[in-house]
């Protein structure tokens, strides 16, 4: 019989889950909730996955601690085998021997007494159900135990977790004290499997010490970016917690040793202003030889990063910033031929990992620059690399700009329609659920419209227009028409197959409206789908609301009947050239019939009167349609509408009178 040991089972083995550490939200900085941008090459993040590297660090340390405590018992169990039943007496003795050996091991370790005392207080400070006052008392006691010895113990996995607890739940005074005590050790801490999480916490929560921490990385940034543990520390610091000057400190190593030696690093205002400019500030006033040396150093640094893409640094925003600064510098080179050569060499260096760049602002801009300036062969290569990741790119704010630029600059629209467009229209059901995904669908049919794209997004996309004018042969209008034609068939079929359910969703109804108005092709089947959804008995007998009772779906029918979107600036409807509102109105009359149409206006419907009012306006040019509506809305029905409380009845009565 096996003696049970008090050890928590791992999550994969079943049993109770490990207790989660209570987080005092008042002690966490505002930026703590921010997450680094995820590369589109990674699989979609599971909602149950670990939210941050810090939480992952706690889990890793927790597991490591369990392994350390139960190491000896596992060796005994594995060596004993399961063939012969264990003697209870022998097992009990073995357990005693295990505990004794464990105590001896702990006592032999440096600072064993200190760690034992710290762990006793830490258990109380890290309790789940505890008031803020009691927690601060225990944190104060814990700080008294480790004060002056933090640097000696912080590299141990269990002690690192203790210090992290003080930083996470302690007051700013304790955090700053720990940050000051660890001064001079941050490079080594960032390279440690466990203490790297502590460095990230201190960078986030100790703004007064942030610059001094980052300056300890200077001269070692490239090496740390390629380090398995330290790379995430620099990535988090650059993207989440630093200001412009602090980010410049991390990028400066890419400029070479000469820049590091001759750049003022005193932290003066002059240095800060020059550093915020990045590479342009370094090259300002530089002679051609020095400019050449700086760019050569940058190329060497970037080459080391891209040649070691398996290290993960290729995905980091700090690398993308350096790469974008290099691209801008070579494009502004006095020697145009030399600049083109350097751009070509950099493209060849990173062309296979372009998908790793598109999720950040600078990385996205780099790939868009390659698209705009590249040859037809280059653009084909870029499309080939991006094709497997198009759906994820559509859902990312920065990555989708790369797709939009590809649609803007590639003259070979057959290639675009064959490769990119199907990858965008295929997952339309998924894309229409998010603003980013909807923008991707809109760009296929109504690119850069102010209705769906912000001025900032339009301005960002326009940055490559000047280059496109020199490198592309087709006009913008021709290219947009060919892309729209290539995407229309799949989008119209999507509306035909799924429109009845999609029009009930607020965001999806916006996409359906513009597909119906602006897509090319036969939309009769799609119109039939939308109208059959509205032809259900009104009001609905079940709790399922009628489409006319939903503001967004009733607006869809109203917009289609009026033939386009209403422009508030001009107070007029902008007619869509590819949409026949009168034909849709005729189909509306035939599909819905008198009973449903009249019920929409005589019941307290939300928007029924507005829809029928637009129907009356749309059939003015159709003699048969006008006669049908006159028969439907006779004097008796008009009186019923007047007596009702439906919204928009006044407008409807005016339209009926004008028939």
Contact predicate 36/239, CB 8 Å: yes
Instruction: List, as one string, the DSSP characters of 529-583.
Output: HHHHHHTS-SS-SSSSPPGGGSHHHHHHHHHHHHTEEEETTTTEEEE-TT--HHH
Spatial separation of the C-alpha atoms in residues 227 and 148, rounded to whole Å: 29
Contact predicate 515/446, CB 8 Å: no
Spatial separation of the C-alpha atoms in residues 285 and 281, rounded to whole Å: 9
Predicted confidence (pLDDT) at residue 183 exceeds the cutoff of 60: yes
More confident residue, 575 or 13: 575
pLDDT at position 9, please? 41
**For 526-548, what is the mean pLDDT?**
88
25: enclosing H helix or E strand: none
More confident residue, 542 or 294: 294
Nearest to 298 by CA among 343, 232, 334: 343
Contact predicate 251/322, CB 8 Å: yes
Helices and strands, counts by H and E, the chain: 37, 2
Predicted confidence (pLDDT) at residue 312 exceeds the cutoff of 50: yes
Contact predicate 624/617, CB 8 Å: no
pLDDT at position 262, please? 61
Predicted confidence (pLDDT) at residue 526 exceeds the cutoff of 70: yes
pLDDT at position 60, please? 37
pLDDT at position 116, please? 83
Lowest model confidence (mean pLDDT) among 276-285, 318-327, 553-562 = 276-285
pLDDT at position 207, please? 95
Confidence of residue 70 (pLDDT cuts 50, 70, 90): very low
pLDDT at position 23, please? 41
Confidence of residue 437 (pLDDT cuts 50, 70, 90): very high
> Buried b / exposed e across 302-324, counting CB within 10 Å, b at 16+?
beebbeeeeebbbbbbbbbbbbb
pLDDT at position 21, please? 41
Lowest model confidence (mean pLDDT) among 67-71, 88-92, 212-216, 641-645 = 67-71
Predicted confidence (pLDDT) at residue 446 exceeds the cutoff of 80: yes
pLDDT at position 645, please? 79
Spatial separation of the C-alpha atoms in residues 649 and 639, rounded to whole Å: 11
pLDDT at position 620, please? 86
Spatial separation of the C-alpha atoms in residues 404 and 415, rounded to whole Å: 15
> Buried b / exposed e across 562-583, counting CB within 10 Å, b at 16+?
bbbbeeeeeeebeebeebebee
Confidence of residue 87 (pLDDT cuts 50, 70, 90): low
Residue 394: Cβ-neighbour burial (10 angstroms; 0-12, 13-18, 19+): buried
**For 398-407, what is the mean pLDDT?**
97
Per residue in 256-308, pLDDT (tens digit) is: 988 776 654 445 666 667 777 888 888 888 888 999 999 999 999 999 999 99
Q: pTM for the whole thing?
A: 0.84
Contact predicate 395/463, CB 8 Å: no
Lowest model confidence (mean pLDDT) among 8-22, 142-156, 186-200, 504-518 = 8-22
Per residue in 135-150, pLDDT (tens digit) is: 999 999 999 999 998 9
Percent of the chain with pLDDT over 90: 63
Confidence of residue 65 (pLDDT cuts 50, 70, 90): very low
Predicted confidence (pLDDT) at residue 383 exceeds the cutoff of 50: yes
Spatial separation of the C-alpha atoms in residues 206 and 211, rounded to whole Å: 10
- Which residues have CB under 8 Å from 552's CB, separation 6+? 503, 505, 506, 509, 510
Confidence of residue 107 (pLDDT cuts 50, 70, 90): low
**Cα 5 to the chain's mean position, in Å?**
44
Predicted confidence (pLDDT) at residue 515 exceeds the cutoff of 60: yes
pLDDT at position 24, please? 43
Contact predicate 596/589, CB 8 Å: no
Percent of the chain with pLDDT over 70: 84
Nearest to 242 by CA among 456, 36, 54, 82: 36
**For 464-480, what is the mean pLDDT?**
93
Predicted confidence (pLDDT) at residue 16 exceeds the cutoff of 80: no
More confident residue, 115 or 390: 390
Per residue in 201-233, pLDDT (tens digit) is: 999 999 999 999 999 999 999 999 999 999 999
More confident residue, 445 or 73: 445
């Amino acid at each position: 019989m096996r003696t049970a040991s008090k050890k928590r089972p791992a999550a994969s083995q079943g049993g109770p889950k490990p207790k989660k550490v209570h987080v005092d939200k008042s002690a966490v900085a505002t930026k703590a909730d921010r997450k680094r941008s995820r590369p589109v090459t990674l699989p979609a993040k599971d909602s149950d996955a670990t939210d941050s590297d810090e939480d992952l660090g706690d889990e890793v340390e927790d597991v490591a601690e369990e392994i350390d405590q139960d190491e000896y018992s596992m060796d005994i169990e594995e060596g004993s085998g399961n063939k012969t039943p264990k003697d209870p007496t022998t097992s009990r003795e073995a357990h005693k021997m295990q505990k004794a050996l464990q105590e001896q091991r702990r006592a032999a370790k440096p600072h064993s007494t200190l760690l034992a005392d710290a762990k006793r207080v830490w258990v109380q400070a890290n309790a789940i159900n505890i008031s803020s006052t009691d927690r601060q008392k225990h944190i104060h006691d814990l700080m008294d135990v480790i004060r002056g010895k933090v640097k000696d113990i912080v590299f141990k996995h269990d002690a690192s977790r203790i210090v992290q607890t003080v930083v996470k739940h302690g007051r700013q005074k304790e955090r700053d004290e720990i940050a000051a005590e660890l001064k001079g050790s941050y490079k080594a801490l960032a390279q440690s499997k466990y203490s790297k999480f502590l460095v990230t916490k201190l960078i986030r929560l100790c703004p007064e010490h942030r610059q001094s921490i980052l300056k300890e990385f200077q001269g070692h940034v490239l090496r740390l970016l390629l380090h398995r543990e330290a790379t995430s520390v620099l990535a988090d610091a650059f993207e989440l917690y630093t200001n412009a000057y602090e980010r410049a400190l991390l990028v400066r190593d890419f400029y070479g040793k000469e820049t590091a030696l001759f750049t003022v690093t005193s932290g003066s205002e002059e240095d800060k202003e020059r550093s915020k400019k990045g590479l342009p500030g370094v090259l300002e006033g530089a002679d051609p030889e020095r400019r050449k040396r700086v760019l050569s150093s940058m190329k060497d640094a970037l080459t080391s990063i891209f040649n070691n893409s398996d290290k993960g640094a290729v995905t980091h925003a700090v690398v993308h910033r350096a790469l974008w600064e290099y691209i801008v510098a070579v494009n502004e080179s006095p020697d145009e031929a030399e600049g083109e050569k350097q751009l070509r060499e950099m493209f060849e260096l990173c062309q296979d990992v372009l998908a790793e760049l598109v999720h950040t602002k600078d990385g996205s801009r780099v790939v868009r620059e390659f698209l705009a300036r590249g040859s037809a062969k280059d653009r084909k290569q870029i499309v080939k690399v991006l094709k497997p990741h198009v759906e994820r790119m559509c859902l990312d704010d920065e990555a989708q700009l790369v797709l939009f630029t590809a649609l803007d600059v590639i003259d070979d629209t057959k290639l675009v329609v064959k490769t990119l467009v199907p990858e965008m229209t295929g997952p339309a059901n998924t894309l229409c659920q998010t603003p980013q995904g909807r923008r991707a669908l809109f760009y296929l049919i109504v690119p850069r419209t102010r209705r769906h794209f912000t001025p900032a997004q339009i301005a960002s996309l326009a940055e490559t227009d000047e280059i496109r004018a020199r490198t592309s042969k087709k006009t913008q209008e021709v290219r947009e028409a060919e892309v729209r034609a290539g995407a229309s068939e799949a989008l119209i079929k999507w509306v035909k197959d799924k429109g009845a359910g999609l029009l009930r969703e607020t965001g999806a109804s916006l996409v359906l409206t513009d597909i119906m108005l602006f897509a090319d092709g036969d939309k009769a089947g799609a119109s039939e789908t939308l109208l059959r959804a509205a032809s259900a008995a009104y009001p609905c007998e079940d709790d399922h609301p009628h489409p006319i009772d939903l503001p967004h779906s009733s607006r869809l029918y109203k917009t289609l009947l009026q033939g386009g979107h209403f422009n508030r600036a001009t107070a007029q409807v902008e007619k869509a050239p590819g949409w026949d509102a009168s034909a849709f109105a005729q189909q509306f009359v035939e599909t819905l019939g008198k009973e449903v149409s009249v019920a929409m206006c005589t019941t307290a419907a939300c928007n029924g009167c507005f829809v029928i009012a637009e129907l009356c306006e749309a059939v003015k040019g159709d003699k048969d349609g006008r006669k049908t509506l006159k028969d439907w809305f006779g004097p008796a029905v008009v009186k019923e509408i007047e007596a009702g409380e439906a919204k928009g009845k006044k407008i409807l009565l005016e339209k009926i009178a004008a028939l």
